[in-house]
Amino acid sequence: MKKLFGIFLFLAIVYILLLVSNPGARSFRNHFNLGQEIGLFSILSLGVGMVIITGGIDLSIGSVVGLSSTLLAILLVDEEYSPLEALAVILALGAGIGLIHGLLITKLGLQPFVVTLCGLFIYRGAARWISGEQNKGLGIQFPDLKAFFKGSSDEFPRFLIFFLVLAAIMTVFLHLSVYGRYLYAIGSNEKAARYSGVKTDRMKILAYVLCSTLAAWFSFLYLMQYNSAQPSDTGNFYELYAIAGAVLGGCSLRGGEGMVLGIFIGTCIIRILPNAITMWGIPSNLEFMIIGGTLLIGAIMDETIRGGTWRGLLTRLRARFGR
């Protein structure tokens, strides 16, 4: 838990800044919307976090979201699939994409960065092609289904409940099962893990399959929440937000490190920051610059506290001014 102290402290600071911004920030409705956003985007961060733990990366999940949500809308409205049939198709699509990524990386020896970067362009282009460059949505159809997944603003955020259930399952998988230990072993030293009898290729493929499948599940929830998908825009930058949330939460890009709780905390920061900026009335054209700078400060704070650098700094200050 010591590893999470720095980033948790940073989250507390960001949240306090949000609360003091204006009265609307403290409202239940604002917290409900934040809970929905955090629950939704934590799913993406959790998926990419598993890949990062193995020492890999997935830059394509934003485009997977764009393709899956576009296809889902087409299946539900144009092709008149039932919701369960359409969900099964996009989950299979996500799993298939992850399988292809894993096979290209493990069997052909391609770099994860290259494979998933190519996927970023391919899946975005596929979404635009199958939709004819037209936005796809549900309109007024499926009102009961959308109401169920979106929940009511006087309830506990429904998406956050979905994530907490998923987080409990992934906590058992990553931290309490032998397969989770295999993923950490691969990220720490893949060659040593292979010599120890770990089927490294299978486990890496599994990580990519889970990552893309979770992106497809995210797409379903996204469409229920926002009712439409834009093939050229839906999912843009989502891979960067997901990676930032996972890395800020303690996943090392070198592999072998990361916790489900840390990923959740990192995602909370990623989603609370834009809300705080809006509540403070800061111009929207400064949003990305402020988010990037704040995240950098948070990463420095976390690394300083975890590495014990702050103790050395305090010692030097006491020695200098105590004379």
Residue 138's alpha-carbon distances to 58, 68, 78, 94, in angstroms, are 29, 14, 10, 21
For residue range 60-81, list pLDDT tens digits in order. Answer: 999 999 999 999 999 999 999 9
pTM for the structure as a whole: 0.89
- Whether the per-residue pLDDT at 262 is higher than 80: the answer is yes
- pLDDT greater at residue 255 or residue 63: 63
- pLDDT greater at residue 290 or residue 220: 220
Nearest Cα to Cα of residue 210 among 42, 97, 65: 97
What HEC string does 120-173 produce?
Answer: HHHHHHHHHHHHCCCCEECCCCCHHHHHHHHCCCCCCCHHHHHHHHHHHHHHHH
- pLDDT greater at residue 273 or residue 90: 90
Per cent of the chain over pLDDT 70 is 91
Question: How far apart are alpha carbons 231 and 127 in whole angstroms?
Answer: 5
For residue range 3-39, list pLDDT tens digits in order. Answer: 677 788 888 988 998 898 888 888 888 889 999 999 9
- Mean pLDDT is lowest, of 20-24, 210-214, 233-237, for 20-24
- Whether the per-residue pLDDT at 214 is higher than 60: the answer is yes
Q: How many CB atoms lie within 10 A of CB 280?
A: 14
- Mean pLDDT is lowest, of 198-202, 268-272, 300-304, for 300-304
Q: Copy the structure tokens of residue 73.
A: 């809308």
Confidence at 287, pLDDT banded by 50, 70, 90 = confident
Q: What is the mean predicted confidence (pLDDT) over 131-152?
A: 88
pLDDT at residue 2, rounded to an integer: 62
Nearest Cα to Cα of residue 128 among 236, 228, 230: 230
pLDDT at residue 4, rounded to an integer: 78
pLDDT at residue 302, rounded to an integer: 62
- Judge whether 223 and 215 are in contact, CB under 8 Å: no
pLDDT at residue 153, rounded to an integer: 67
- Whether the per-residue pLDDT at 105 is higher than 70: the answer is yes
Q: Copy the structure tokens of residue 13.
A: 């600071």
Question: How far apart are alpha carbons 30 and 152 in whole angstroms?
Answer: 13
For residue 176, give every residue at least 6 positions away whose Cβ sits within 8 Å of its Cβ, in sequence order, or none.
Answer: none
Residue 229 bridge partners (DSSP): 136
User: Half-sphere exposure of residue 172, counting CA atoms within 13 Å on the CB side?
Assistant: 5
pLDDT at residue 305, rounded to an integer: 62
pLDDT at residue 130, rounded to an integer: 94
- Mean pLDDT is lowest, of 18-32, 141-155, 248-262, for 141-155
Residue 318's alpha-carbon distances to 83, 172, 266, 315, 321, in angstroms, are 65, 45, 33, 5, 5
pLDDT at residue 283, rounded to an integer: 81
Judging by beta carbons within 10 Å of its beta carbon (0-12, 13-18, 19+), is residue 284 exposed, middle or buried? exposed
Nearest Cα to Cα of residue 36 among 140, 155, 171: 155
pLDDT at residue 37, rounded to an integer: 93
The mean pLDDT of the chain is: 88
